[in-house]
Structure 1
Amino acid sequence: MPPLSPTRDVDALTDQLCDALLTPRSRADMQRLLRDLCTPSELRALAERWHVARLLDGTELSYREIHDGTGVSTTTIVRVGRFLRQEPHQGYRSAIDALESVDAG
């Protein structure tokens, strides 16, 4: 591991965060890390986005029905839908597929 020094390099910081997020070996460990890392509102926003992604992928609910059932803003729902279906990163898709393969196995 290289020596640690202050940086403003977003790519390096993101890489370091990803490394940290890969270390928990259980749900409880991940919950502890996320609770230390995020404010309650940040954690709620992340959890809501993940829930919306799963609803958009696994149901036929409209954006309005998802909003009415979750309270998540339609702007957030639209953004999650765009990242789920159109953006090249495909992070939501990869995670959903990985969880489905675990559930099927």
Structure 2
Amino acid sequence: MATATALQPSRDPDVLTGDLCRALLQPGDAAAMARLLADLCTPAEIRTLAERWHVARLLDSTDLTYREIHDATGVSTTTIVRVARFLKQERNHGYRAALDALETRDAG
């Protein structure tokens, strides 16, 4: 039986982010994730995350321009440009991986 390492206070962004990522993997469904996000984030932070995700989906699956997305959603063009950059150019590929996983799940 493996012995768990005692949790130690940390300021290391990698340690903190890794711990958060492991926690975010725990909810088994959307309702459980919504409860975790409600505890972790302010309503404004949740809305910001949700808007970014919505913009990523719109950029990926429609031919709407940035201006049309802004007009339809109220999300700033600065945010839309940032999401587009991370979706299409940055090396993280987090949006792409999540979009592809949802597409695969929905197709199957």
Fold shared by both chains (TM-score > 0.5): yes
Q: How is 1:15-94 mapped onto 2 (pairs within 5 angstroms)?
A: 15-94=18-97
Structure 2: runs of 5+ lacking an equivalent: none
Superposition TM-score, scaled by structure 2 size: 0.96
Identity of aligned residues (%): 69
Structure 1: runs of 5+ lacking an equivalent: none
Deviation sequence 1:29-48 (CA, Å, 0-9, x none): 00000000000000000000
Superposition TM-score, scaled by structure 1 size: 0.99
Deviation sequence 1:1-48 (CA, Å, 0-9, x none): 321111100000000000000000011100000000000000000000
Name the larger-Rg structure. 2
CA distance in 2, matches of 1:63, 1:40: 25
- Runs (4+) of structure 1 exceeding 6 A deviation are none
